[in-house]
Chains A and B, each alone.
Chain A
Amino acid sequence: MAEVRLHQVNKIYQGRTPSPKAWWEFWKSSSTPSQVHIVKNAELKIKDGEFVVLVGPSGCGKSTTLRMIAGLEEATSGEIVIGDRVVNNVSPKERDIAMVFQSYALYPHMTVFENMAFGLRLRNLPNHEIEKAVKQASELLGLDKLLQRKPKELSGGQRQRVAMGRAIVRKPQVYLMDEPLSNLDAKLRVQMRAELQKMHRRLGVTTVYVTHDQVEAMTLGDRIVIMKDGIIQQADSPLNLYERPANLYVAGFIGTPSMNFIPVTLQDGELVASGFRLQLPEDRRAEVGNHNGKALVLGLRPTDLSDSPSALSMQASVEVIEPLGSENYLYCSVGKDMVAARVDGRSTVRAGDTVTLGFKAEQFHLFDAESELAISHSRGGKSEGA
Chain B
Amino acid sequence: MVSPAVLGLLLFVLAPFALSFLISFTDLSLGSPHPMHWVGTLQYERLFHDPALARALANNLRFALVVVPLQTALALALAVLLHRPGWRLAGLYRAIFFAPVVFPMSLVAVIWRYLYAPGLQGPANRLLSWLSLGHWQARDFLHDPEWALGALMALSVWQGVGLQMVILLGGLQQIPSDLYEAAALDGAGPLQRFRRVTLPMLRNTLIFTALMTSILAFRVFDQVQILTHGGPAGATSTLMFELVRSAFERLQMGRACALTVLFVLIVLLLTGLQRLALRQRAL
Q: Tell me whether A99 and B182 are in contact in the complex, defined as CB-CB below 8 angstroms, given that A107-B196, A118-B196, A122-B192 are known contacts.
A: yes
Determine if A99 and B185 form an interchain contact, defined as CB atoms under 8 angstroms apart.
yes
| A68-119 interface with B by 8 A CB criterion | 70-72, 91-93, 97-99, 101, 103, 105, 107-109, 118-119
From B176, B178, B181, B188, contact of A122 by CB (8 A): B188
Chain A residues in 8 Å Cβ range of B186: 93, 118-119, 122, 166, 170
Q: Is the CB of A128 closer than 8 A to any CB of chain B?
A: no
CB distance from B271 to the nearest CB of A (A): 23
Chain B residues in 8 Å Cβ range of A70: 181, 185
| B177-212 interface with A by 8 A CB criterion | 178-179, 181-189, 192, 196-197, 200-201, 203
Determine if A109 and B203 form an interchain contact, defined as CB atoms under 8 angstroms apart.
yes
Determine if B200 and A109 form an interchain contact, defined as CB atoms under 8 angstroms apart.
yes
For chain B, give the interface size range. 20 to 34
Bound: A92/B181 CA distance, A: 9
Closest to A72 in B: B181
Chain A residues in 8 Å Cβ range of B188: 93, 118, 122
Chain A residues in 8 Å Cβ range of B184: 72, 91-93
Chain B residues in 8 Å Cβ range of A103: 176, 178
Q: Is the CB of B283 closer than 8 A to any CB of chain A?
A: yes
Task: Bits for A38-71, please: 1 = Cβ < 8 Å to B, else 0.
Answer: 0000000000000000000000000000000011
Bound: A122/B183 CA distance, A: 10
Q: Is the CB of A152 closer than 8 A to any CB of chain B?
A: yes
Q: Is the CB of A346 closer than 8 A to any CB of chain B?
A: no
Determine if A105 and B192 form an interchain contact, defined as CB atoms under 8 angstroms apart.
no
Task: Bits for B45-85, please: 1 = Cβ < 8 Å to A, else 0.
Answer: 00000000000000000000000000000000000000000
Q: Tell me whether A109 and B283 are in contact in the complex, defined as CB-CB below 8 angstroms, given that A101-B178, A118-B196, A122-B192 are known contacts.
A: yes
From DSSP, what is the main secondary structure of chain B's interface residues? helix
Q: Is the CB of A123 closer than 8 A to any CB of chain B?
A: yes
Bound: A297/B54 CA distance, A: 93
Determine if A119 and B181 form an interchain contact, defined as CB atoms under 8 angstroms apart.
no
Chain A residues in 8 Å Cβ range of B182: 99, 101, 105, 107, 166
Bound: A97/B196 CA distance, A: 20
CB distance from A220 to the nearest CB of B (A): 22
Bound: A109/B282 CA distance, A: 9
From DSSP, what is the main secondary structure of chain A's interface residues? loop
Q: Tell me whether A108 and B283 are in contact in the complex, defined as CB-CB below 8 angstroms, given that A101-B178, A103-B176, A103-B178 are known contacts.
A: yes
Chain B residues in 8 Å Cβ range of A118: 183, 186, 188, 196
Chain B residues in 8 Å Cβ range of A109: 200-201, 203, 281, 283
Closest to A122 in B: B187
Chain A residues in 8 Å Cβ range of B197: 107
| B138-195 interface with A by 8 A CB criterion | 176, 178-179, 181-189, 192
Chain B residues in 8 Å Cβ range of A123: 187
Chain A residues in 8 Å Cβ range of B179: 105, 107
Chain B residues in 8 Å Cβ range of A99: 181-182, 185
Bound: A152/B283 CA distance, A: 8
Closest to B182 in A: A105
CB distance from B207 to the nearest CB of A (A): 13
Determine if B185 and A98 form an interchain contact, defined as CB atoms under 8 angstroms apart.
yes
Closest to B86 in A: A16
Bound: A108/B198 CA distance, A: 12
Determine if A93 and B196 form an interchain contact, defined as CB atoms under 8 angstroms apart.
no
Q: Tell me whether A105 and B196 are in contact in the complex, defined as CB-CB below 8 angstroms, given that A93-B187, A118-B186, A152-B283 are known contacts.
A: no
| A125-169 interface with B by 8 A CB criterion | 150, 152, 166
Determine if B187 and A119 form an interchain contact, defined as CB atoms under 8 angstroms apart.
yes
Q: Shortest 8 CB-CB distances between A and B: which pairs?
A: A119-B186, A105-B182, A109-B200, A93-B187, A105-B178, A122-B187, A92-B184, A101-B178
A101-B181, A118-B188 known, 7 other contacts, Cβ within 8 Å: A29-B88, A71-B185, A105-B179, A119-B186, A119-B187, A123-B187, A166-B186
12 pairs from A and B in contact (CB 8 Å cutoff): A70-B181, A93-B185, A97-B185, A99-B181, A99-B182, A103-B178, A108-B283, A109-B201, A119-B185, A119-B186, A119-B187, A166-B182
